[in-house]
A and B are shown apart, each in its own frame.
Chain A
Amino acid sequence: MSIFVYRNHTVEPLFSNLKGVTYSDYGSVYFPEGNFTFSIWCYFITPAFDDNQILKEIKDIQTKLQLAITNNKAGNFLIFTLDGRYLPSWQISSNVVSKSISEFNNSVYNLSNNSTTIKIIAINELFNQFKLTEIINKKYYYLSQIIINPLLNKFFHVWFESILQSINGVRKKCLVLDLDNTMWGGVLGEDGINGIKLGNNYPGSCFVDFQKQLKEAKKNGVLLAISSKNNENDVWEAFENHPNMILKKDDFVSFRINWNNKADNIREIATELNIGIDSVVFIDDNPFERSLVKEIEPEVILPDFPERPYEMTNFFQGVYNKYFLLYNLTVEDTVKTEQYKANSLRLKNSKKFKSINNYLKSLNTIIKIDKADKFNIPRIVQLTQKTNQFNLTTKRYSEPKIREINSLNNLIFCASVSDKFGDNGITAAGIILINDNVAEIDSYMLSCRILGRKAEFAIIKSVLNYLYFQGVTRVKSYYIPSPKNSQTENFYDLMGFTSNILPSKTKEYTLKLTKLFTFENLYTINLNFKK
């Protein structure tokens, strides 16, 4: 890439990050020999004090610009708009200068609208981010005739580079989105359609606006896709029936709503759309998911999701500007979603799992398993009340009932999972009724926050190994189907239990406990069952 810059002031520091830049003499419109990809018109109004002098200069810039365009031989001609906010005003009512600047800017926009090679760069977009005293630093101005404060160079470089990319048509293609706590507040599987936060009040209002932004991105040619740990039916029901849902199923070009790891899901989506994995931006509120994707598919762009809902719209605008902004759209861009949908092959069966065990080990996960006590019983009760998705029997219990069960010769336990990202607190619980040497798993549940790392197996197996040492020889367990818990349908089958399906569709399991369970050594497990 080679660039020729027309300038009337010192502008070298603004483009010092780019290679192959040639500068005109100050105020010269002579176009040199050689091939240039871009010509850039980078003129600034000199900070003078006399309005007439300023008007004269603007007129002069206009004349020179016309000449330069006529003689230009570069492929693209980029014109910086003029911005006079640093100029003095002697009377509040006087608008001759600002009027003249607007006229100049309007005229260059008109030139651009009638040309495929002339493009406009609105310098006010950069200036708007700073205070007036930051924009022009008079020390450097008087030393070197630099208009834009050199301290802003770093911002200018980043800003201008993204503009060049958007002009070159370099952009990411697909935005893969999580659902819970990303497209709405709360967890659909736990809170239900009526419980998720999406509406007129904070924080639901932020998620509504975020969805509006996504809709605009889609209109501007960005492909939207979903990767979410959820029950698919629940999700489509929410998209269909939630009164404040902005996006609809049709807006998404592809989706993976399942319990697989998200790196696999993203790879499948990219394969299905026939785009490179490096064209994908993944937005998920959960740092665990982002970090897993980063480990397995490092080319995926993974912006840090903001902590507070009110920061989401600015966050997304930043992501859009950085990765998706185009100078202008072609018709093809705007119908992209439809095209990709038509072309997409459903490759749901060709799954290429990379081993994630190494990744899981690197998390330094610690699983702490405790017996129920007066401190953790309220949380255990809450888990039995609220957990829908990973819940084998979905039996709801009150606090007195839990205390009662706990006072007998039974085992109620809970588990907390922590890793290098932090402590998730108590996120699993189970109730095991003990009759002599038979253990009956009455309830077992995990919050979906900790799914995806096989902890669900490690926890129950550790507890059963403990019971084995206590003399238990047989285990009974159940899967009671609910509208939400289909993901646990084969959980005990995977653990080696034998099942018997009752007329009510409940699966009743038994297992002879003759040896210890083994499981992959991915975590540190602390079983605190003493006393």
Chain B
Amino acid sequence: MKNRIKKVMATVFLEEENKISDNISQINFEKWESMTHLMLMVEIENEFDVSFEPEDMVEMINLEMIEKHLNLKLKGN
């Protein structure tokens, strides 16, 4: 799952996949701003066929949190 998320990030941020590290976050990655954050959410929803609540999206500001919320969704919570 981590690699699939990174792949989506690479597409949204127009970056090579190897530039996306495990500790990527909105704070340490310049291209991750409010607009690309939204696009990232859209593309992750698309990729995993889920729909996040706005409250979740606000928390999903690093790879770890994205994984966490995605896992919750995929388990049906």
Q: Do A and B come from one complex?
A: yes
Given known A-B contacts A142-B54, A143-B57, A150 and B42 have beta carbons under 8 A apart: yes
In the complex, A139→B57 CA distance in Å?
11
B42 and A16 within 8 A (CB): no
Chain A contact-residue range equals: 10 to 19
A141 to chain B, nearest CB (A): 11
B39 and A140 within 8 A (CB): no
Among B42, B46, B51, the one with the most A-chain Cβ atoms within 10 Å of its Cβ is B42
B55 to chain A, nearest CB (A): 11
Q: Chain B contacts of A150 at CB under 8 A? A: 38-39, 42
Chain B contact-residue range equals: under 10
B74 contacts A by Cβ under 8 Å: no
Q: Chain B contacts of A481 at CB under 8 A? A: none
Q: Chain B contacts of A139 at CB under 8 A? A: 51, 54
The closest CB in chain B to the CB of A144 belongs to: B38
Chain A, residues 1-28, CB within 8 Å of chain B (1/0): the string is 0000000001011001000000000000
B19 to chain A, nearest CB (A): 18
In the complex, which of the residues B34, B35, B42 contacts A151, with contact meaning CB atoms closer than 8 Å?
A: B42
A396 to chain B, nearest CB (A): 60
The closest CB in chain B to the CB of A143 belongs to: B54
A146 contacts B by Cβ under 8 Å: yes
B38 and A140 within 8 A (CB): yes
In the complex, A16→B43 CA distance in Å?
14
In the complex, A485→B38 CA distance in Å?
66
In the complex, which of the residues B35, B42, B46 contacts A12, with contact meaning CB atoms closer than 8 Å?
A: B35
In the complex, A10→B38 CA distance in Å?
11
In the complex, A139→B35 CA distance in Å?
15
Among B34, B38, B46, B51, the one with the most A-chain Cβ atoms within 10 Å of its Cβ is B38
Q: Mark out the residues of chain B between 16 and 63 whose CB falls within 8 Å of any chain A CB in the assembled complex.
A: 34-35, 38-39, 42, 46, 51, 54, 57
B9 to chain A, nearest CB (A): 15
The closest CB in chain A to the CB of B14 belongs to: A16
Q: Chain B contacts of A142 at CB under 8 A? A: 54
In the complex, A144→B35 CA distance in Å?
8
Q: Chain A contacts of B34 at CB under 8 A? A: 144
In the complex, A318→B34 CA distance in Å?
36
A151 and B39 within 8 A (CB): no
A23 to chain B, nearest CB (A): 10
Q: Chain A contacts of B57 at CB under 8 A? A: 143
Q: Chain B contacts of A16 at CB under 8 A? A: 39
Instruction: For the complex of A and B, list the 10 residue pairs with the smallest distance between their C-beta atoms, beginning with the closest.
Output: A150-B42, A144-B38, A12-B35, A143-B54, A13-B39, A151-B42, A150-B39, A139-B54, A143-B38, A151-B46
Given A10-B35, A139-B54, A150-B42, 19 other A-B contacts at CB below 8 A?
A12-B35, A13-B35, A13-B39, A13-B42, A16-B39, A139-B51, A140-B38, A143-B38, A143-B54, A143-B57, A144-B34, A144-B35, A144-B38, A146-B38, A150-B38, A150-B39, A151-B42, A151-B46, A153-B42
**13 pairs of residues in contact across A and B, judged by CB atoms under 8 Å:** A10-B35, A12-B35, A13-B35, A13-B38, A13-B39, A16-B39, A139-B51, A140-B42, A143-B38, A143-B54, A144-B35, A150-B38, A151-B42
